[in-house]
Amino acid sequence: MTETFSEYVDCAPLLDDREALDRFYEEHGYLYLRDALDRELVRTAAEQMLQGLIALGHAAPGTTLDTLAIDSFEAVDEVAMHEYVKYDELWNHPTTVKLWEQVFGEPVFVFKSTTIRYYPTAAGSAEPSFLTPLHQDGFYIGPNKDFRTAWIPLLPTSHAIGGVAIADGSHKRGPREHVITENFRRFGHPVRGIPAEEFGADEQLLFSPMEPGDVLLFHAFTCHKSIPNVSVDPAGMRMSMDTRIQPASSHRGFNSLTPWPESAKDASKGILSKITGTPTTAE
Ligand SMILES: O=C(O)CCC(=O)C(=O)O
């Protein structure tokens, strides 16, 4: 059964109105900013991701972003891919930082941990287990919960190509219970998600097609989940990345200070400790 979604509301017109921007964020737990990032910077990150996939042997030399298709996300060495995508240059570019500061209304710190996603179509097969179940990033990341997740597409997304769906206003209920979900796994470990019975029938999931240059920011307690890539005719790649941003003056926890490849190697700390169930001493 295909899920139906309402659309994200474009908050870019509110960027110069501090009060209206904060009111929307407090009410809805997200900000969708259309065409707010420098598209050239986003294109550069997309090209770097492509070059990584070519260099690691998952696409033929000469492949372009228009013709790219890989066989499997899981077959790609995710740690090695981080060498190719210079996301810190995008996240910390002066024009990008200006946008973050407009959003937060104060100086910010961009997390060192970024997740990069290059998902081929899974049309006709079971939902890939590496996708995320309904969850709150604040369950996994802390100790402070004043960060916001920033999610950007590197290529256009659509209902078929998938991306991230968020539950409008769901942050207002605060932290929720997360339980082990066998269908979703990361590094071989089952990942925790919010059980369906904990999610109100009246809670509205939002999803909109996005273009490179758009950004979706959401609250640490906003419930959200992956939407799979089931594109056919044409089958396209879902390429996106996400990090977290917090006020510069806030405490800096493990996930904020640790580049993704490092935390992936140490399952006892940070985000992986929650996934694996191993106690952490880092936060
Ligand atoms: O991009 C996705 O598929 C999921 C994103 C997500 O769960 C997150 O950014 O925390």
Please state, for a pLDDT cut of 70, what percent of the chain lies above it.
99
Cβ–ligand 1 distance for 242 under 6 Å, the answer yes
pLDDT at 178: 94
pLDDT at 2 over 80: no
The residue whose CB lies within 8 Å of the most ligand 1 atoms, and thus the one to mutate among 215, 241, 242, is: 242
Q: Is 2 within a domain?
A: no
Cβ–ligand 1 distance for 224 under 6 Å, the answer yes
pLDDT at 95 over 80: yes
The average pLDDT across 45-73 equals: 97
Cβ–ligand 1 distance for 37 under 6 Å, the answer no
What 8-state DSSP symbol labels residue 283?
Answer: -
The pLDDT confidence band at residue 1, using thresholds 50, 70 and 90, is very low
Q: Measuring from atom 10 of ligand 1, which residue has the nearest CA?
A: 137
The pLDDT confidence band at residue 274, using thresholds 50, 70 and 90, is confident
d(CA 168, CA 184): 23
Q: What is the mean pLDDT of the chain?
A: 94
pLDDT digits (tens, 9 = 90+) for 107-136: 999 999 999 999 999 998 888 998 999 999
pLDDT digits (tens, 9 = 90+) for 33-48: 999 999 999 999 999 9
The residue whose CB lies within 8 Å of the most ligand 1 atoms, and thus the one to mutate among 224, 230, 239, 244, is: 224
Q: Measuring from atom 9 of ligand 1, which residue has the nearest CA?
A: 242
Q: What is the token pair recorded at 87?
A: 């996301």
The pLDDT confidence band at residue 283, using thresholds 50, 70 and 90, is low
Strands (E), the chain: 30-33, 108-110, 115-119, 148-153, 163-167, 179-186, 189-193, 205-206, 215-219, 224-227, 238-247
Cβ–ligand 1 distance for 50 under 6 Å, the answer no
Q: Is 61 within a domain?
A: yes
Domain total of the chain:
1
Q: Is 1 within a domain?
A: no
Q: Which atom of ligand 1 is nearest to the CA of 242?
A: 9
pLDDT at 87: 98
Which domain range does residue 260 map to?
12-276
CATH number at residue 122: 2.60.120.620
- Bin 237: left if φ > 0, else alpha if -120 < ψ < 50, else beta: beta
pLDDT digits (tens, 9 = 90+) for 250-266: 999 999 999 999 988 88
Q: Is 263 within a domain?
A: yes
Q: Cβ(271)–Cβ(141) under 8 Å?
A: yes
Which range is least confidently modeled, 38-47, 172-181, 214-223, 237-246? 172-181
Q: Is 269 within a domain?
A: yes
Q: Is 4 within a domain?
A: no
pLDDT at 282 over 70: no
d(CA 193, CA 180): 6
Q: State the distance from the centre of ligand 1 to the C-alpha of 200, rounded, in angstroms.
A: 21
Please identify which residue in the block is written with the tokens 């090695």: 80
Q: Which atom of ligand 1 is nearest to the CA of 135?
A: 7
pLDDT digits (tens, 9 = 90+) for 145-165: 999 999 999 999 999 999 999
pLDDT at 183: 87
Q: Is 106 within a domain?
A: yes
